[in-house]
Amino acid sequence: MSDMKLNRQQEPLLSVRNLCQYFGTTKAVDDVSFDVMQGEVFGLVGESGCGKTTTGRSIIKLYNITSGDIYYKGARIAFGSMARKKEISSLRKRFFGADADEKVRIKKRIAQLKREIRQGKHDHENCDKLFAERKLAEVEEKYQPLLESAYGAELEKIKRDYQHDKDLAKKTRLTTQIQMIFQDPIASLDPRMTVYEIISEGLVIAGEKNKAIIDEKVYKILETVGLVREHASRYPHEFSGGQRQRIGVARAVIMEPELIIADEPVSALDVSIQAQVINLLNRLRKQLGLTVLFIAHDLSVVKYFSDRIGVMYYGHLVELATSDELFRHPLHPYTQSLLSAIPFPDPLYERQRKRIKYDPLEKHDYSVDKPRLREVLPGHFVRCNQQEFECYQKELNAK
Ligand SMILES: Nc1ncnc2c1ncn2[C@@H]1O[C@H](COP(=O)(O)OP(=O)(O)O)[C@@H](O)[C@H]1O
Ligand SMILES: [Mg+2]
């Protein structure tokens, strides 16, 4: 569906690096890294419980992440110290047996890691403040030349707009730039609030006080998502599942975010309604130039929609490639298993289609040689050990 060409030189909009999110002994997300480029749709796929939602919630800072770094437009928005702390403690163990030269190196590295941890914590806590500063600078840049060149009544109007935008910029939060659409449109909409209240809530929290501006935005967004003005005064229970998810989309899009995390936005809907909501998202994406992190539990939904796809299995990212590449050359046995589960509207194919089961113990021997995400072809990553890596390369070269 998307015609976007990936420019590998471009700076990513979102960069997730070695993300770990543990809940006690549950490693919900374990060392996951990927980039989302400006304007692309990145599909994140894997069976229920593999850590997709946790990844999304980590990005919007609903957790203090266990470990790793998340960058948005080059600014670090989330940080967790576990990996660096582990490195420090293993360096300390090595210290006593080390010779003088090595001791110097170890000390230097530990000091470096401690600096990184301090900086990381600082970034994690202050990212909203830094966003607000950036936004404020953008407002200044926009209005300074206007303020200098205008006079009379026009100047007065510009001054008012300038003040309005400045007030909003001061309250800029990460959550105005990254919005999440949730899986369950029933549970995620407060039943006691009207559609108007639900959709306008984010604007109000962001500091918008002008009722006329809020009205205009709410009515416009209702139309944009295929609802009508009259729906504003109603309550969520008066709507069908598909309509409720349109309300969820409106609530996210009204904030004019750059990145939308759509967490299984159609999984709870009837199949007949799913396509409508997918089409809506795709239209909005093009109209508004959105970047989308699209989460789904099977490949059939993301196939046509995504520029690139990341496949997750039990907290790990096991394969990452462009959609075309992933469907043409699926390498990881779990990806192959997911692909084998997609029905095609071709009776001949359907008769031959065999579901491949994925059993990690049978497929890999990681007892000695441990796996990590490796780039098998430019842009095509697979979680594998050295031996598998060589097999995958041979496999691809034979094609
Ligand atoms: N807040 C939480 N506390 C404890 N465990 C959680 C929490 N959220 C998720 N988990 C666990 O983390 C794993 C990943 O969950 P989740 O990210 O919701 O998976 P997915 O969205 O892929 O279905 C699951 O085992 C789930 O039970
Ligand atoms: Mg989920």
pLDDT(354) > 50: yes
Contact 330, 336 (CB under 8 A): yes
End-to-end CA distance of the chain: 26
Task: Give, in words, the CATH class of 12-329+336-342.
Answer: alpha beta
Contact 386, 369 (CB under 8 A): yes
**pTM for this prediction:** 0.91
CA of 301 to the centre of ligand 2 (A): 15
More confident residue, 329 or 176: 329
Q: How far is CA 235 from the centre of its chain?
A: 29
pLDDT(167) > 70: yes
Ligand 1, atom 8: nearest CA belongs to which residue? 54
User: Tell me, what's the pLDDT at 305?
Assistant: 85
Contact 272, 247 (CB under 8 A): no
Region 84-112 average pLDDT: 96
Ligand 1, atom 17: nearest CA belongs to which residue? 51
Burial of residue 2 (CB within 10 Å: 0-12, 13-18, 19+) is: middle
User: 219-235: string of b/e by CB count within 10 Å (b at 16+)?
Assistant: bebbebbbbeeebbeee
Q: How far apart are CA 231 and CA 223, in angstroms?
A: 10
Q: How far apart are CA 52 and CA 147, in angstroms?
A: 47
pLDDT(3) > 60: no
Ligand 1, residues at Cβ distance < 6 Å:
23, 26, 28, 46, 48-54
Atom of ligand 1 nearest to the CA of 56: 17
Region 159-168 average pLDDT: 94
User: 19-30: string of b/e by CB count within 10 Å (b at 16+)?
Assistant: bbbbeeeebbbb
Tens digit of pLDDT for each residue in 310-327? 999 999 999 999 999 999
Region 283-309 average pLDDT: 92
Q: How far apart are CA 162 and CA 164, in angstroms?
A: 5
pLDDT(122) > 80: yes
Other CB atoms within 10 A of residue 343 CB: 9
User: 75-90: string of b/e by CB count within 10 Å (b at 16+)?
Assistant: ebbbbbbebbeeebee
CA of 314 to the centre of ligand 2 (A): 12
**What are 90's two structure tokens?**
């293993």
Contact 114, 88 (CB under 8 A): yes
Region 162-179 average pLDDT: 91
Contact 338, 53 (CB under 8 A): no
Q: How far apart are CA 284 and CA 305, in angstroms?
A: 13
pLDDT(396) > 90: no
Atom of ligand 1 nearest to the CA of 48: 23
Other CB atoms within 10 A of residue 271 CB: 7
Across all residues in the chain, what is the average pLDDT?
Answer: 92
